[in-house]
Structure 1
């Protein structure tokens, strides 16, 4: 644990800086809508709370540090009505029915070091250095956004918490879960569930281990979820109209059964390894559905990826944050499995550029505007048993070598398989029917093997002549009718003799 986070901690600020650079593009088009949504939602939230037993702590905040005798759980529970329980698994501390207007709006005159300091950031509710069991539920926190990491709810060095059915809006970060090394508490085994996170800069920022983020509504933020860690589960969340839906930076995480729609990129993995991306619905995003950069050994399977403006699934080149303020080209994205996905109605279905040793197997890839599968400078790719139909190119390869294209069904595309400056590829036992051309390759491609393919091309010349004759006949009839009608009108308008 320590080696992973120790080596990655320097990336923390440049990752968020990279992420926020995308978000500023988003701001201009959304700010008026978000302001109106905030006003409506605040009124709804306050009305709801006034109809229940609640504690209005507007203008103040909750701060619990279990390592400090003046601010620990036991002292707070003894003095405050809004805390109950004893901190055991069977009797956790509970904070509930609290409303906090943090009254901490954005301040562009804040000192820059203070502005980006994650550990000294404030929140409506802060819990830190705690391993006892506790629950925060049915509470509303808003207007904590003076600095980058100011939050609705902040957990630092916390284990064994549950955040359930809370509403966090108009904060820099809705829910923040992080750790440092001072107290050797990993910020793990926390549950973030059934919360509403709207109109924040980032909905959830998690730098943690073994956390569960599930069933949350994350909407109208400039970023949905940023997860940096190990063995986390992100499932059954609705992420709508954010900057990027989910940004993952870590390993051994599972992202499943989420709905990611109307974001920039639906799901973005950066420098991430051994993650599982399974059974998500990723649609109508203005960038990529799924984007992997500098990420290896990930499994992308059984997702439905459709109506995304750029690529359905994109692996490869991009920008990568080095140990400093500058951006450089990404490292390779290799050894990933893309299997059993439905990918349709995107610009490109699956795009790999500058990658090696990836596997594209048993996918259904239909009705994409350009290529079903496109390889650019990508080698040793296995493309096996896919159904690829009704795209412009079924498979298009640019400067890509040593790839295996085997036992795919590639029908009703304009071109079945196209090779440009690509060599030593094996194209074997594929079904290619009713494409304009089964396969084409330019003069700079060589040593490709075509073997045992079932190729049936339409009789294009016969079809074209029928179409051409029909069109000419219709045009001739139209011209003849115009001439006849013109003569009749002329005769009608002539003066009587």
Structure 2
């Protein structure tokens, strides 16, 4: 009877040991299933080449007088048609413009009541003769109801200009553009509202990929491929914005940055291979950071001076240092995340009231292997002691 019980103990121990030894491999297999690979060549349709070469264009919808460059003047040109309604917007299409390093390619001001569309155009080499003035291939100011679709917006390494700059604008749709090689931000919205930045290919810009600043609200940034810029996507001094379903990779510094923000949702993004932080959050509150994959960055998620944020269901794996690092950040909820195979572990410094619930946390694979090895040695040692004790007892009997 004693021998049977002993055999049961040994069998149970072997099963437990096998489970411990296979856990790291199961984690690796599951994490690979979560990766969603996006083909950058299929992400954005290639714009048609413009068949009208034009000089830089300035439209001021409120301009009056002889030869005023308003929309009435624009529709009298070969490159524009439409009536400015929602069904029949003013349309600039199939145009190629070279800013020659001293002009914005297209500049639209004070268009607050008319609908307009710019599509299938090529803009390149914007600049400004005055280095203290903003320049952009596509420059929008104090305007509404614009669609910027299927354009190629290319900068020049010698000119400090943006790809697309919108200031004090709303109800913009910026979709399916290729924006590359700009010396400053690829797309920047400043003090703008209720706009969508969707399905754009943004790569190899010398500063930021997408930047939303100066109190901009209700901006939806979705399904963009943001690759090989200085920073990926940044929001500062903003609220009620969304960063969803983007692929953000290979940027020189951070994948996503939020500074002085509140009520922002960051969900279902693939944030990989950025050279510094996957996500950097500073002085920001009430953010929902949900179901992102943050992999192979130097750091995973950094929170500094940020309170009452929620981190749910994120996969944070294979980062070189801290997967989650909180400094002076309080009352955050960290719930149901998978945090595995990073060089360090989740770390809090000068924090109070943070909740860690139902997270799966493993450290560096070498540490996992060491823990499992020690467990196996201890188990085998116990089995050996029991066998030796049984042998000694049988010998005495």
**Structure 2 CA distance for aligned equivalents of residues 210 and 216 of structure 1:** 18
Q: Which deviations, in whole Å up to 9, do the C-alpha atoms of 1:297-340 show, x marking residues without a partner?
A: 1100000001011x100100xxxxxxxxxxxxxxx300001000
**Is 1:233 equivalent to 2:147 in the alignment?**
yes
Q: Contact (CA 8 Å) 1:131, 1:160: kept in 2 or not?
A: no
Structure 1 residues 100 and 197, CA, compared in 2 at 3 Å: closer, same or farther? closer
Could you tell me how far 1:436 is from its partner in structure 2?
1.6
Q: 1:306 aligns with which of 217, 223, 227?
A: 227
Counterpart position of 1:224: 137
CA distance in 2 between counterparts of 1:307 and 1:374 reads 17
**For 1:250-329, what aligned pairs fall within 5 Å after superposition?**
250-263=169-182, 264-293=184-213, 294-309=215-230, 311-316=231-236
Matches within 5 A, 1:463-478: none
| In structure 1, distance between residues paired with 2:93 and 2:318 | 45
1:121–1:269 distance in 2 versus 1, CA, 3 Å: farther
Runs of 4+ in 1 over 3 A off after TM superposition: 99-102, 118-123, 126-135, 459-464
1:212 partnered with 2:134:
no
Q: Structure 1 128/297 Cα, relative in aligned 2: closer, same or farther at 3 Å?
A: closer
Deviation, structure 1 residue 132 = 11
Q: Distance in 2 between matches of 1:212 and 1:344?
A: 30
Identify the match of residue 341 of structure 1 among 246, 256, 266.
246
Instruction: Note the 1:86-97 alignment, pairs <5 A.
Output: none
Q: Distance in 2 between matches of 1:132 and 1:285?
A: 31
Listed as ranges, the gaps of 5+ residues in structure 1 are 1-47, 49-96, 103-117, 138-154, 162-184, 317-331, 465-497
Alignment of 1:34-53 (within 5 A): none
Q: Check whether the contact 2:54–2:96 (CA below 8 A) recurs between aligned residues.
A: no
Deviations 1:367-409 (A, max 9, x none): 1111111101011000000000001111000111100000000
Q: What is the CA–CA distance in structure 2 between the aligned matches of 1:132 and 1:312, rounded to whole Å?
A: 35
Q: CA deviation at 1:241?
A: 1.1
**Mapped contact 1:436–1:460 kept (Cα < 8 A):** no
Distance in 2, matches of 1:232 and 1:100, equals 21
Counterparts in 2 of 1:6-45, with a 5 A limit?
Answer: none
Q: Which of residues 104, 121, 143 is equivalent to 1:202?
A: 104
CA distance in 2, matches of 1:340, 1:131: 41
Q: 1:191 aligns with which of 82, 91, 95?
A: 91
On the 8 A contact 1:131/1:159 being kept in 2, the answer is no
TM-score computed with the length of structure 1 as normaliser: 0.54
Q: Shift of the alpha carbon at 1:121?
A: 10
Secondary structure at the aligned position of 1:202 is classed as coil
Other-structure match for 1:136: 78
8 Å CA contact retained: 1:134, 1:160: no
C-alpha offsets along residues 87-126 of structure 1, whole Å, 9 cap, x if unaligned? Answer: xxxxxxxxxx9x9999xxxxxxxxxxxxxxx958998xx6
Shift of 1:231: 1.2
For structure 2, the residue ranges without an aligned partner over 5 or more in a row are 1-50, 57-61, 128-135, 371-397
CA contact (8 A) 2:263 2:287 kept: yes
For residue 106 of structure 1, what is the aligned residue in structure 2?
Answer: none
Query: Of the candidates 166, 170, 178, which is equivalent to residue 248 of structure 1?
Result: 166
Measure the CA separation in 2 of the matches of 1:314 and 1:450: 27
SS at 1:130 equivalent: helix
